């Protein structure tokens, strides 16, 4: 029986509430498909920072490196400045494990009311490929002339040729693999003087290697509008770290709730473990009520199985999830208009795996 070593980082807030549901579902599918999971739980969170001044111990990264994959809940909580908690854990892992691809599906699922008029499942179904380790997310820069009239701050964006080319290439390869040979690039080369003209130049250069893949590009502002007005036109959308971040909340928002959206932080070369997490954060506004929707975390677990080469188990989870969503009488958390608890939804998906709904 294949057994995978999984690092579990529930993190902060509702990360702690949705994670047990993903584990419940993983254990169920594991029993069905003959897959074992050897979990190591790490309690690193904002509480760790408050106690130690760090989000993880000194040897934290080498502890994580022992695992086949990382399943993460959410990081960040009031009381700890967000840039410190995120750069100390989530962004640190993405960067040090060179998880340069952030793959995020945007899919309208059955049974979730769509805020866009007249859309059915299938009408909104595309992938965002977000550059995940450089770009606008950078520690380059700093404050100047502090305490004077001239005080200010510089925040630099870094786009290397290596980093830009490899994410663009990943997007083109994905479009081919999906049999949907069309890549849309998010740009802003009219306003950003250096970075985005360079991004466009590399998009054209890498695209030339894929003559069979149709290419288009839009400035991020009109692209956001086109997402809402005609989501059918997209197949694979590639964007820089910041543009990809914004688009990957806009996309799921268009499909009714961000709470179901998953995210795969991938090191395609498999030199380091990849990390799987929901798109959403720690939701302090609802933490402690057991009403968080666990579907984003469960779908992230399915993406993790896909990455580990367990495509059948991954597909079974997706099917159980959509079966539950399609059943009007199945439990729904308040973000989807229901009254169910987090654990009711996890249990319903686990049950749908074994005995149908």
Pick from Mn ion, ligand NAD, ligand IPM, none: which does 286 bind, CB < 5 to 8 A by kind? Answer: ligand NAD
Q: Which residues in 293-322 contact ligand NAD (CB under 6 A)?
A: 293, 296
Q: Which residues contact 73 (CB under 8 A, 6 or more apart)?
A: 9, 10, 11, 12, 14, 15, 16, 18, 19, 277, 278, 282, 297
**Based on CB atoms, which residue is closest to ligand IPM, 4 or 100?**
100
Residue 280 touches which of ligand IPM, Mn ion, ligand NAD, none (CB < 5 to 8 A by kind)?
Answer: ligand NAD
DSSP state of 333: -
When the beta carbons of 129 and 258 are compared against ligand NAD, the nearer one is 258
Enumerate the H helices of 179-194 as residue ranges. none
When CB distances are held under 5 to 8 angstroms depending on the partner's kind, the choice from Mn ion, ligand IPM, ligand NAD, none that residue 149 binds is none
Give dist(CA 130, CA 14) in Å, integer: 24
Q: Does 76 bind ligand NAD (CB under 6 A)?
A: yes
The nearest distance, CB 354 to ligand IPM, in angstroms, is 32
Residue 14 interacts with, from ligand IPM, ligand NAD, Mn ion, none (CB under 5-8 Å by kind): ligand NAD
Q: 280 with 17: CB under 8 angstroms? A: no
Q: Please, what is the angle between helix 161-178 and helix 195-207, to 10°?
A: 50
Site string for ligand NAD, 251-290 (x = CB under 6 A): -------xx-----------------x--xxxxxxx----
Positions 81 through 120 that interact with ligand NAD (CB under 6 A)? 82, 86, 90
20-23 contacts at long range (C-beta below 8 A, 24 or more positions apart): 20/343, 20/346, 21/294, 21/297, 21/298, 21/342, 21/343, 21/345, 21/346, 21/347, 21/349, 22/71, 22/294, 22/297, 22/298, 22/300, 22/301, 22/346
Of residues 74 through 93, those in contact with ligand IPM by CB under 6 A are 76, 86, 90-91
Residue with tokens 């060179």: 98
Q: List the interface residues with Mn ion, window 92-151 (CB under 5 A).
A: none
Binding site for ligand IPM (CB under 6 A): 76, 86, 90-91, 245, 279, 281
């Amino acid at each position: 029986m294949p057994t995978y070593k999984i690092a579990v980082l529930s993190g902060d807030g509702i990360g702690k509430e949705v994670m047990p549901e993903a584990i419940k579902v993983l254990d169920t599918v594991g029993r069905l498909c003959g897959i074992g999971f050897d979990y190591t739980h790490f309690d690193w969170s904002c509480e760790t920072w408050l106690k130690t001044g760090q989000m993880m111990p000194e040897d934290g990264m080498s502890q994580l490196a022992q695992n086949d994959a990382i399943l993460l809940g959410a990081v960040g909580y009031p009381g700890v400045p967000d840039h410190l908690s995120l750069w100390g854990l989530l962004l640190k892992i993405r960067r040090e494990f060179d998880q340069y691809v952030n793959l995020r599906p945007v899919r309208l699922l059955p049974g979730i009311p769509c805020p866009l008029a007249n859309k059915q499942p299938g009408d909104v179904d595309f992938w965002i490929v977000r550059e995940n380790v450089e770009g606008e997310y950078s520690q380059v820069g700093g404050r100047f002339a502090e305490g004077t009239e001239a005080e200010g701050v510089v925040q630099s964006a870094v786009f290397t040729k290596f980093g830009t080319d490899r994410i663009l290439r990943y997007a083109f390869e994905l479009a081919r693999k999906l049999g949907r040979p069309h890549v849309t690039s998010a740009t802003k080369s009219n306003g950003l003087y250096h970075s985005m003209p360079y991004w466009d130049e590399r998009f054209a250069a890498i695209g030339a290697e894929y003559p069979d893949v149709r290419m288009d590009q839009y400035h991020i502002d009109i692209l956001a509008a086109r997402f809402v007005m005609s989501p059918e036109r997209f197949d694979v959308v590639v964007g820089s770290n910041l543009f990809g971040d914004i688009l990957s909340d806009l996309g799921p928002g268009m499909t009714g709730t961000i709470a179901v959206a998953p995210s795969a932080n991938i090191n395609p070369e498999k030199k380091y473990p990849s990390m799987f997490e929901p798109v959403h954060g720690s939701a302090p506004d609802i933490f402690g009520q057991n009403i968080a929707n666990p579907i984003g975390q469960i779908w992230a677990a399915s993406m993790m199985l896909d990455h580990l080469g367990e495509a059948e188990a991954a597909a079974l989870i997706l099917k159980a999830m959509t079966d539950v969503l399609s059943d009007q009488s199945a439990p729904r958390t308040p973000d989807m208009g229901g009254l169910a608890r987090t654990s009711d939804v996890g249990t319903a998906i686990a049950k749908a795996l074994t005995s149908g709904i």
